[in-house]
Amino acid sequence: IRDFNDILSNEDKYGIVKHPFWLLHGFKEAVNDCHLQDIMLEDYTLTWVCNRGTVRVVEEKIDRAMANPPWLDLYPKICLKNLIASISYYKPLILCCDSIQAF
């Protein structure tokens, strides 16, 4: 789990200015090269907000959890939850593991 400070697609953003294609492509290429997969967020998927309460509000999914396929095989019931933060630009994330398989 980390703040990548970037998004994978314009679907990861709410706001008036679209993210540049070259940035989307570069981040997506790095994720693919590392064989990482998004751990899907339950419920609300945007994790960062700027200009809250104004017409210029921007929200993005710049915080995410990713893992490679072998790790996901170890934790098949993994889930990621987005909590509410009333005074921060960032919403805290919780990674939940229902069961852990033995090696």
Q: How much is the pTM?
A: 0.79
Sign of the dihedral through C-alpha 94, 96, 100, 103? negative
pLDDT in tens, 1-35: 888 889 999 999 999 888 899 999 999 999 999 99
Rounded to whole angstroms, the Cα distance separating 99 from 76 reads 8
Question: Cα separations (Å) of 1 from 16, 82, 84?
Answer: 27, 12, 17
